Structure formats: C-alpha cells, structure tokens
Amino acid sequence: MDRSQRCVINTALMDWQPSPMAGVWRKKLEREAAESGQVTSIVRYDPGMHFRAHEHPLGEEILVLDGVFSDEHGDCPAGSYLRNPPGSRHTPFSDPGCVIFVKLNQFAADDLQPVRIDSSKASWQPGLVEGLEVMPLHSYLTEHNALVRWAPGTEFHPHIHPGGEEIFVVAGTFADDAGEYPAGTWMRSPAYSGHKPFSRDGCTLLVKTGHIPRAD
C-alpha cells in the first residue's frame, strides 16, 4: 500500500488463494486490510459460481481477462471494462467461469458515472507515436483510464507521470529502461516517476494515470 514505492508483480507466477466465498479464488496485489479498504486483485470465478449481493461504498473497477463475468445488468465477455460507482449494488456470477482484474474502494466519492465497455466493439484512436493506439475508458479530474495497444517495435519518448501510473499487461510483453514485463504483470509507479517505454513484440495494456498523490 506504500504508493511512494515502485511495485512490479508478475501475477502469472502467483498461486491462487481461496477467498471467503467458496468457488472464488484470488491473487492479492495490494490490500489495505484483510477484507476491507482499498484492494487490487486478480479474481477467478469457478464455472457456475454465484456471488452474494453486495454494495461497493467507494466503487469497483473491473477488466474481464477471460471467460464471461455477469450480473443482473448483463453479460461481460473477456475484454469488457466496468466501473460500478460508489454506492452501487449488484449480484455477480459466472456460468462458464471467468478471470477478472479488480480494484475496490479507489473512486472519488463523487465519481458516479457507471461504465460498461466491450473493447471488442469499441474504437481505437491513434496514439502520440506511430504504432500506438488508445481506447479511452474513463476520466475523472486528474485520473485517466485507457487500454493502450502497442504494435511490435513501438518506442515512446522518455516522460514523467506527475500523478503516478498503474499498468496491467493484458497481452504481449511491455518493456522500459528498467526491464521487461510479460502478460499478467501488474506495475505501480509513484508520482513524478519516469521511464522510457517500448515493446519489441507488441502488447496491450490497461493504463491508469493521475491517481497517485505525491508523497510528502
């Protein structure tokens, strides 16, 4: 939880741990308390798993990585991005099973816009350099969320993130001047950190910026 520190975790190397709900498994990435507070996890639903109805006091953010995640509002196949705002309530389940990247209790209290995007049907926009494409997902104040697709051999200029940066490598291999990060890697970089990113083989990233305050 120390967001003044850079954190890199290859979740593919982690074992699944049981959750309090039978049939739901998880890989814990950051966690403020045992079963409350701010949480970032990879979560797996076994086929036919139905979760109890629950509320998200400070919001829930999901990227469906595999399978189909569902609730009373509809089915969300792999590649779907969801934001359930503060105070929202739902009853999730998965008939075929699914794997999701989940962030809990990390919304601003007045960030109330629900979001459901099937990235297989949404449009990509040109990025700032050749070989880069961006799919904006949600922005609020200084926070920006997007899927970013890198063609093989794409290089980006060195830059700094005043509000920090968080990356989940959805597919391919991402790299920068500090190392290479295969699919399943989660990275969190502090405010005013910098790097020179590139991708030799191509990759797709979930990227969040502008949400990490500067350490005093």
Residue with tokens 């904006």: 136
CA distance 88 to 86: 6
Residue 44's nearest CA partner among 20, 27, 59, 62 is 27
Residues 6+ apart with CB under 8 A from 32: 1, 38, 39, 105
pLDDT, residue 95, reads 97
Residue with tokens 């926070």: 143
Residue type at 85 in one-letter notation? P
CATH T-level topology, domain 7-118:
Jelly Rolls (2.60.120)
CA distance 167 to 105: 18
CB 63 within 8 A of CB 81: yes
pLDDT, residue 215, reads 79
CA distance 101 to 27: 10
Could you confirm whether domain 125-209 is CATH 2.60.120.10? yes
Numbered ranges of CATH 2.60.120.10 in the chain: 7-118, 125-209
Residue type at 215 in one-letter notation? A
- Tokens for 121, please give them: 């049907």
3-state helix, strand, coil in the chain (%, to 5): 0, 55, 45
Residue type at 196 in one-letter notation? K
Q: What are the pLDDT tens digits along the chain (216 aa)?
A: 899 999 999 999 999 999 999 999 999 999 887 767 789 999 999 999 998 898 988 999 999 999 999 999 999 999 999 999 999 999 999 999 999 999 999 999 999 999 999 999 999 999 999 999 999 999 999 999 999 999 999 999 999 999 999 999 999 999 999 999 999 999 999 999 999 999 999 999 999 999 998 876
pLDDT, residue 138, reads 97
pLDDT, residue 62, reads 98
pLDDT, residue 33, reads 77
CB 211 within 8 A of CB 143: yes
Question: What's the pTM value of the predicted model, to 2 decimals?
Answer: 0.96
- Tokens for 12, please give them: 């593919």
pLDDT, residue 37, reads 78
Q: In the beta sheet, which residues pair with residue 155? A: 198
pLDDT, residue 34, reads 72
